[in-house]
Structure 1
Amino acid sequence: MSQQMTLSVQKREGLGKGANRKLRTAKKVPGIFYNSEGKNIPVAIDGTQLEKLYETAGKTTVFNLDIEGETAPCLIWQIERHPYKPFFTHVDLFGVDMEKPIKARIPLKITGVAKGTKIGGRMEVYRDFVDVFTKPGSMPKVIDINVSNMEMGDAVHVADLKLEDGHCIYDSNYVIVRVSAPRGGKGEEGEDA
């Protein structure tokens, strides 16, 4: 990570529904910063800055949080949107220790066209994310799964995913994506599948 992004926030005094409503009217987003020592700090964030940061960083990129001059590495942990208006209503920020691994949910991206689908197979995607345990600085933004070499009947399991630093968390070695034979159709040689 060459250039780390920074988000400037202010501590907020007023808590509760009324104070949060006033913040949102002023185009600010109420939030809570949970620092790495376990302290919770209520903050107010400029809505436009938060939207720009979320577009580029998402939930998997570490950025610097500047709270009135104090800086800490941070991740967006949870974010709430208005049900029908295009703005955020609340955000939870999670302070991280760059040397300690954390659990995070990383999205999966399927790339390529499987060989098995070209001869009539069906691509079945069972998961669109995976939980990983890794250091915040080496957390991937997305995990790419190239399915170009998958034949009919092939599958990618969670244990098949390799991370540069860290590992996937799973109880069972579940399937992420599979190329299945078509149901009730004809096979390659014209036989029933």
Structure 2
Amino acid sequence: MHTLQVKERVAGNARELRRTGFVPGVVYGPSIESTSITIGRADLKILFSNITRSSLINLAIDGETSREFDVFLKVVDYDPITDEARHVDFYHPDVNSPLNLDVPVKTVGECKGIKSGGILNVQFNSIPVHGLARNVPALITLDVSDLAMGDSIHVRDVDFGDVEPMLPPERTIVTVIAPRGLLADEAAEAELAEGEEGVADEAGATEEAAAEE
């Protein structure tokens, strides 16, 4: 679990904080009071590069009373011009109550089907799951190494641990499809083969008729 050190702040000085290299934020949840915080911009960038939206984060708040909460990254408000984070919301869930959360999907491995000219089609970039916060995975990793052309990975094929996927078992997550050009070539080859078989059959029938005469 990644730990983020922050400081408690007085609401209302957000603009000054941004000018001095900090990002204002807030942490809230069903069992805690909403608390305004200050995060170092550099620390926030490191956090973003090491977590996903379903990663549980240890938020250590330095203030009149030091506190720690396990939180999820809830909302990030970005500057439309600089694309820098302007404000961040963290959510502290009830540890004893299950919640719904989307877990990102990542594919790994060199896919056999791609080597054969296929295209890896990821139909879900994230999977909604239901469970306790401590059991929610940060990432669902799918090894696609053994997938040949036409093969798929379905929800039922994935180990979700102690959380339940909120998709039907038969739902396809990733599949290897043939590109249109390859499909067209295969169709043309099939038509050609059928045509050759038809010509051969006609020739055979003609020879049989001639022999009978």
Matches within 5 A, 1:119-130: 119-130=116-127
In structure 2, C-alpha distance between the alignment counterparts of 1:77 and 1:129, rounded to whole Å: 16
Paired residues for 1:35-184 under 5 Å: 35-37=29-31, 39-67=33-61, 68=63, 69-85=66-82, 87-170=84-167, 173-183=170-180, 184=183
The 1:108/1:26 distance shift into structure 2, 3 A limit, reads same
Which amino acid in the other structure matches residue 127 of structure 1? F
Unmatched runs of 5 consecutive residues or more in structure 2: 192-213
- Whether the aligned pair in 1 keeps the contact of 2:24 and 2:36 (CA below 8 Å) is yes
Which letter does structure 1 place at the counterpart of 2:55? T
Q: TM-score, normalized by length of structure 1?
A: 0.80
Richer in helix (by share)? 2
Aligned to 1:185: 184
Cα 1:172–1:83 change in 2 (3 A) is: farther
Instruction: Identify the residue that residue 10 of structure 1 maps to in structure 2.
Output: 8
Superposition deviation, residue 125 in structure 1: 1.9
Structure 1: segments with no counterpart, 5+ residues: none
| Counterpart amino acid of residue 12 in structure 1 | V
Percent of pairs identical after alignment?
A: 26
RMSD of the TM alignment (CA)?
2.7
Number of residues paired by the alignment? 186
